[in-house]
Structure formats: structure tokens, C-alpha cells
Structure 1
Amino acid sequence: MSSSRRDPYPDALRAGALLVVVFGHWMATLPRLVDGRLVDTDHLLAAWDAAGMLTWLVQVVPLFVFVSAAVSTAGVERRLAAGRQRHWWAARALSLARPTVSYLVVLVALALVALLSDGRLLGVFGQSLTIHLWFLLMLLTVQALLPWCLRMDTRMGVAAIALLVLAAGVLDLARADAGSLQALRELGARVAERQPGIAWLNMLVVWLVPQQLGIAWARGRFRGPAAGAGFVLLGAAWLLLAMGSGYPVAMVGVALAGNNMLPPTLALLGVVWLQVGVVLLCEPLARRLLAGHAPARAITVLGALGMPLYLWHKLAELPAAWLGERLGLPIDAGLPGEPGFWLGRACWIGLCLLMVAPVIAAVLRFELARARDVPPVDNLGRILLGGLALYAGLAAALVWGAWPGAAIGLPLLLLASWQLRRRGDAPRDDEGRADAR
């Protein structure tokens, strides 16, 4: 993974993970209509208990963290050697802040229009239009610790992974107040019924596990189908034990369907092992399939679409709902098991695809027209101020939705983008470019 030629396999994995997230979000959104007008949305997991097991496949955030760490390892090692690791994080933060500013600008504009007219649809979708920004907060945090994780791997090897898993386990044990053998047998049930308390630290600890695994993979600490099979078996056994002890089945944070995400629990690590195993099992065949020029071009295109598609795909639900109402399409098809439910899902996803295409085309045209490869700042004070503003802006939008969250978050993200960008005639450092590496 350290060769000069960009490795298409990790890029393909990241692009595939983002596509799964996008389609998963659309599939999970159940529009609810009354007299042909959208009045609310439901969540698939809240309406269908059996869908919880599907999240073992579509909860691909661990895969994205794993691959991002593997791809970034060589570049961060170079920066560590040059004493410029904070410059790398500033580049990553800037590359996320700038497109998010554009997204929040549009949300604020829509909210202002809604205040002056019928804001019914924006009211229904308001919170869901920013909920996916949690991922940016998590990714920025774990990547800020990537240099520390590299040092852990250097000193401890795969034992660093075991240490993080042990820490996550201790936090779940503390949450469950499991001080007896019977309590251990009921660990998952006790975790699910108690407030997280100190286990909120697993919002960091658990997500560092796939990052540490990605570093180990990049450095060749485990390879090949045999290791992959071992991870798959570990993941399957882990999930069986977790479900047996009472952990919720669903691997996303939907309260009515259980919650292994807020904060992440030990059960989520079972999905981590499975996904890493599948990556290793598929690696030889995937690399052969991706060796040609045509697959490489396709992966490049998907990679370019990745962040715009992730940021903007939820916005496509607004015009999709509007068009579904106007055409009288069965976007509200009731509950799973009822006639026409899957036809309704197909109509809804088809409308979202139709609506997202012009949105992404406009976004890409705008992003390509403005300055690219903006050099990041290398001043610690400005990085800290920009980082704090970025976190605060994303958090405001995440908590308060399109309105007033986006309006509060927008000036904070503008401040972050301004502080993280190198200004004046400072010399350009190609190592600091805001790329995925």
C-alpha cells in the first residue's frame, strides 16, 4: 500500500461503503402520507424487528474507518518523520469543512424560504438532513489520533488492538455493573437497559479499533484469505455471544430497535471483525478484477463522487417526497409484510436517485469551479481554533437540524475554513494537500 501508484482496492472499498450508506439511508426512510400529503417519516428498524440483522451488512462505518487508516498510514508516517503531523490533520479538516459549508448554505437558504412559505416538507425532514454529520465528527476525531495509533502499532503490534478491545470491554462492564458470573451472562441486556455513564468513552475507544486494524493491515501484520477466514469466524462467534447475552441486534442508533451505537458497544466489534475478514478474503480476487484501466477509472469517478454524495444524498429526499406526492406514487406502502411494501421502497429509492443526480451534478460543477488543493495552515493556534469551530459547527447542525442548527453551524464552519486555510504568500507544501491520503 505504500507504492507510488494509487492502490485501487482501498479506494474501491471506500466508494462501496459510501454507496451502501447512501442506499441504506434511503431504504430506512419510510415516508408517511395522509390524504396524499407527507406528514411524517418512520424508520425501517422501528417498523420491522427482523431488519436488525440487515444492519450487520449495511453498517459499514467500521469498514470506512479501517480502510481510511490503511490508506493514510504511509503519508502520516512521512509527516511524523518530518514533524508535520498536525499539518496533515489540518488538511483533512479543511477538506471536510469546505464542502460542508456549501451544504449548510443551501440548508439555511431552504429554511429561510420555508419560513416565508409552506415549510411542511422541511419540517418533516429537518433533523434527518443533518443527522449524517455525526460521521464527520467521529472521523475527524479518530484521524486526529492516527499519529498516536501509529506509535502504538510500532511499539505493541497487534497487542495495541487487544488493548483497545479490552478498554471497550471494561467500559461496557462498568456500564452494566457486572460484578458476578450471572451478570456477565446477561451483560448485553444489562448494557442495553442502563444509561451509558462512563461508557460514553466508547464513542472514541470502539472507533479506534478499526483504525488500529487498518494500520496493522497497511503494515502487513496480517494478510491473506487464511487471516480473513479467521476474522470472519471470530466475528460470527462474537456476534452470537453478544446476542446471547442480550445485546440489541441492530447496529445503528434507533432507540425503538435497540442501540449499539450511542455509544458503541462490544457487540459492534463483531461487525468490525466480519468486515475486516471479508476484506482479506476478497483481496486476491478483487485486486485481479481492479487491475485494468476501466475499473480504475470507475473507482476514480466514484471516489470523486464520494464526499459530495454522502453530504447531499439526504437532501434528495425533499424533492423526492414532493414529486412522489404530485405523481401519487406509493411511496408510503405501509409496513413490511403488507402488500406493496417493497414496491413502495422501489418507488422511493428510484425517486431519490432521480433527484440526487442533478443535485450532485450542480455540486460537482461548483466544487470544480472554485480553488482546489487549498494549502492548510501549519500554525498550532489557528489549527486549534479552526478545529474547535469545526466541531462546534457540526455539532450544532447535528443537534438542531436544518433549522436553526444549520444557521448556527454555518458561521462556525466559515470560521473553521478561514482559520485552517493558509493565507498570504506562505510557501506551498505539497505534503499538506487536502487529499484522502
Structure 2
Amino acid sequence: MRAKMERFRQGGPMSTPQRDPYPDALRAGALLVVVLGHWIATLPRLRDGRLAQTEHLLAAWDGAAVLTWLVQVVPLFVFVSAAVSAEGVARRVGVAGPARWWAARALALARPTVTYLAVLVLLAVAALASGGRLLGLFDQSLTVHLWFLLMLLTVQALLPWSLRMDERWGLGAVAGLVVVAAALDVLRADVSSARDLAALGSRVAQRPPGIAWLNMLVVWLLPQQLGIAWKRGRFRGPPAGVALLALGAAWLALAMASGYPVAMVGVALAGNNMLPPTLALVGVMWLQAGAVLAFEPLARRMLAGRAPPRAIAVLGALGMPLYLWHKLAELPAAWLGERMGLPIDAGLPGEPGFWLGRVCWIALCLLMVAPVLAAVVRFELRRERDVPGTTRGRSIAIGGACLYAGLAVALVGGVWPGAVVALPAVMIASWQLRARGGRAGQESDDAN
């Protein structure tokens, strides 16, 4: 992010002339959908003009479950990221080695996460000192999105392996992962007859994950493997896109008929297709990959010219800061909504003014996130660059372990005590990866 924003500030090109704007546009668009989806899903509830609690949209409106098929775009992000990275990864891994290459990627996530956690800790201390009310209402909401960083770190660590899988088996590697994911769901459901298989989704939803926790890895490797295959031309064009769209539609129809939950999110109130991911989520991946191919000619015509790629490059440079900090914007948005008496709590879907309340809430979040992003970008531009260090597997292992542990603690523990405990762990990770893992700043930005 630092390297990209410095080029933009200095008036230089944000990307090389050879860079394909279409995957960058898809990735930037996916992050924007995630951000807006999170804001839309948060329902502030007021009592006597003061925020009393926050509720999830799925708890108030069953129909929102189908909408998650559109806003659950993490498979699309992984798919496109793999395609963007595929060309340069083999070369960089060959020069630096897989451990040092991954350390660069991990450091690019760890450093901004340190800043985010530090701000959360300061807010927690201020809330304890002043008896702050709002922070407690948003406590878990401010760290729940860190799961994405854990997933991204893991699949990117296996990206060189995915490239070798594609070289050896091509689309057979994708098929193999699908078979493994299906087998894990079948084992979870304890299928012993054709009747059990017909009710696979219901049985999966009713049983503890057990061995199916392995799908936290297998299912997220699927869009990565598919993205590599797309980049290498193993399938392409609108006809292939239409075929994938048909596959996705049929896949989801069968999944719903067998009893899988409709919502593609990880909240218990809507069932759970995310913790761990299920075969139903794979259907969304087919739909998204199909849409990428089917609408590619139209999208490329819209991206022709100089202005769209430049705007996309700016969004790409701001993507990770926006993802990290967008949930924090809900805190001042709720405070401002209270003070201004805006209808941020407008009852239930179908009631008069509900969607007006949603518009007010989104507008407040946008208003609050802008100065936060400006401050974060300014801070990142002033930070010292990372410099090459000695490659030591022990330091990379320590840094990686601390980073995983810190993110997991923050994810589970919320701001208090999660972020407070996580901050020193992620700081250690950042120090270890920076001092021993090699350069991460510009190289990682360019690789992405």
C-alpha cells in the first residue's frame, strides 16, 4: 500500500502499462461489497434515543439470506488474487525461497494490523476510564472481520504449492479439492444410505463439524486453484462463464434441496455455511467465477481508457486499510446518529422508513470512515520502509506463530480483552518478520 500511494502522491503511474485492470477492478469491487455488506448487516437499536444494542440483519429479515449469495464475495477475492499473483509468485519464490516470500506477505498484513489493534486498545482504555457505553456494544464487531486475514495468510502460504498442483494436474487439481471437500461433508453428516445422502445438507447443519473443520483449508484453496487455472488459460471466455453459471445455479439448487442453510455467512442465527465452509459455499464460487468470465468482454470495454484503471488503482491501494478500519467507522457513526436524532433504527424490514434508516446509517459510516482512512494513509506514508534482513527460518516461524495467535485472540476476544492481548503478539510478529524475514513493503505491494 505504501509504495502504491507514494507513486500516486508523486503523480507517477499507479501500475505498469502491462498490468491488467480487469482483475484489479474485480478485487477492488469485492472489497467494497464486503465493506458495504458489513455496514448494511449491522442494525443499531435505539432506546429512548440512545443506542441500546446492535442486531444482525439476518436476525430481523429471513429474506436477507438469499442476498448473501451476492455479498459473500470472499471466494471471488481469493479467485482474483490468485490470478493476479500467479505470474510473479514462482519467480519471487525462486529468488527468495517460499519462507521469505511468505514472510513478506505476512509482514504486509501485520504492520497495519498493529496500528489497528493499538487504536482499539487506546479506545478500550479510554472507555474504562470514562465508562464508555458504545464501545461495549460494538466490542466483538470491531474484530470479527480479522478472520479474513487468518484465511488469507494461510491460502497465500500454500500459493506456491497450488501453482505446482496446477502445473501437474491442471483442472484436475480443482476437481480433487472438490472431491475432498465433499468427502469431508459426507463424513460430517455420517451418511450411510442414499436417503442420508439426499438429506446431506440437513445432516451437515445438525451435526458438529468434527473432521469437516479441514474444509476451512480445503474450500478456501478451491477458488485459489481455480484462479490460477483461469490465469493460465485452462478455461476462458463467455461460453465457459455461462457453463460455470449453470453449474453454480444447479449446485445451489441441489444444496438447498438437501437442506443446507441458505445464508452464506458464519452466524448461527442463519445456519452456518462458513464455520467451517460447506459444499453450499462452493456453489457461490462457481457462480462468481462464471460471472467473471461471462461479463469479461463488457467489463473490459467499460475499463478502456485511462481514468478507470487509475481509479481502480487508487481503490486497490486503499483496499486493505479500508477493510481493516471500516468496522471502526460504525462507532462514531452510531454516536453521531444519536446526537443528530437520525432514524438509524427504523424498525423491521417492511415497516415504513426502514430502508431510509439503512441509507442514513450507510451515509454516516461513509462520512466517518473517510477521515479515518486519510489519517491511516498519512501515517503509513510516514513510516520507515522495511529493509532486507537475514533469512532465518526460526524468526519467520516465531513471527508467523505470533501473528496467527494474535489475530485468533482478537477474533475470539473482541476489543476487551482480545485486542489488548493480541497487540503485543502482533507487534512481536511484525518485528520478527521485518528483522529476519526480508523486505516486505514494496515487494509485497507489487506482488499483490
Match of 1:62 in 2: 75
Q: Does 1:335 align with 2:348?
A: yes
1:43 aligns with 2:56: yes
1:214 pairs with 209, 215, 227, which one?
227
Matches of 1:210 and 1:77, distance apart in 2: 19
* Change over 3 Å in CA distance of 1:387–1:345 after alignment to 2: same
The answer as to 2:292 corresponding to 1:286 is no
User: Which SS does the other structure have where 1:421 is aligned?
Assistant: helix
Q: Which residue does the alignment assign to 1:171?
A: 184
Q: 1:247 aligns with which of 253, 260, 265?
A: 260
* Partner of residue 304, structure 1: 317
1:139 maps to 152
Aligned with 2:295: secondary structure? helix
Moved over 6 A (4+): 428-431
Question: TM-score of the superposition, structure 2-length normalised?
Answer: 0.94
Q: Return 232-241 or 5-14, whichever deviates more.
A: 5-14
CA distance in 2, matches of 1:341, 1:255: 24
Which residue in 2 is equivalent to 1:85?
Answer: 98
Query: Is it true that 1:5 corresponds to 2:18 in the alignment?
Result: yes
3-state SS of paired residue (1:222): coil
Which amino acid letter does the alignment assign opposite residue 246 of structure 2? Answer: L
Match of 1:391 among 385, 404, 408: 404
**Paired position in structure 2 for 1:316:** 329
Corresponding residue to 2:199 among 186, 200, 210: 186
- Which residue of 1 is the match for residue 422 of structure 2? 409
- Asked if structure 2 preserves the Cα contact closer than 8 Å seen for 1:76 and 1:85, the reply is no
In the alignment, is residue 114 of structure 1 matched against residue 136 of structure 2?
A: no
Whole-Å separation in 2 of the counterparts to 1:411 and 1:124:
24
Q: Give the secondary-structure state (helix, strand or coil) at the position aligned to 2:51.
A: strand
In structure 2, what is the equivalent of residue 347 of structure 1? 360
RMSD: 1.7
Alpha-carbon displacement from aligned partner over 1:356-411 (angstroms, at most 9, x marks no partner) = 11111111111111124654763211111110010001011101001111111111
TM-score, normalization by structure 1: 0.96
Is the Cα–Cα contact under 8 Å of residues 184 and 211 in structure 2 kept in the other structure?
yes
Alpha-carbon offset, residue 120 of structure 1:
0.9
Number of aligned residue pairs: give it: 433
What is aligned with 2:4?
A: none
| Cα separation, partners in 2 of 1:377 and 1:118, compared to 1, 3 Å | farther
CA contact (8 A) 2:93 2:101 kept: no
Aligned to 1:98: 111
What code does the residue aligned with 2:184 have? L
Query: Unaligned stretches of 5+ in structure 1?
Result: none
- Mapped pair 1:154 → 2:167: yes
Deviates more, 1:305-314 or 1:288-297: 288-297
How many Å separate the matches in 2 of 1:19 and 1:374? Answer: 32
Q: Distance in 1 between matches of 2:295 and 2:384?
A: 38
Q: Sort the Cα spacing of 1:377 and 1:431 in 2 relative to 1 into closer, same or farther, 3 A.
A: farther
Provide closer, same or farther for how the CA distance between residues 288 and 81 of structure 1 changes in structure 2, counting only shifts above 3 A. Answer: same
Shift in Å, 1:64: 0.4
* CA positional deviation for 1:7: 1.5
Distance, in Å, in 1 between the alignment partners of 2:32 and 2:74 is: 11
What is the DSSP-based 3-state SS (H/G/I as helix, E as strand, rest coil) of the residue aligned with 1:100?
helix
* AA at the equivalent of 1:247: Y
Identity %: 74
- Tell me if the contact between 2:35 and 2:323 (Cα under 8 Å) persists in the aligned partners: yes
- Paired residues of 2:30 and 2:77 also in contact (CA < 8 A): yes
CA distance in 2, matches of 1:242, 1:157: 26
> Any conservation in 2 of the 1:231–1:277 contact (CA below 8 Å)?
yes
Question: 2:88 touches 2:447 (CA, 8 Å); kept in 1?
Answer: no
Q: Which amino acid aligns with 2:158?
A: L
State how far apart, in whole Å, the 2-side matches of 1:263 and 1:337 are.
32
SS in structure 1 at match of 2:363: helix
In the other structure, the counterpart of 2:30 is: 17
Q: Contact between 1:103 and 1:311, CA under 8 Å: does it hold in 2?
A: yes
CA distance in 2, matches of 1:40, 1:196: 30
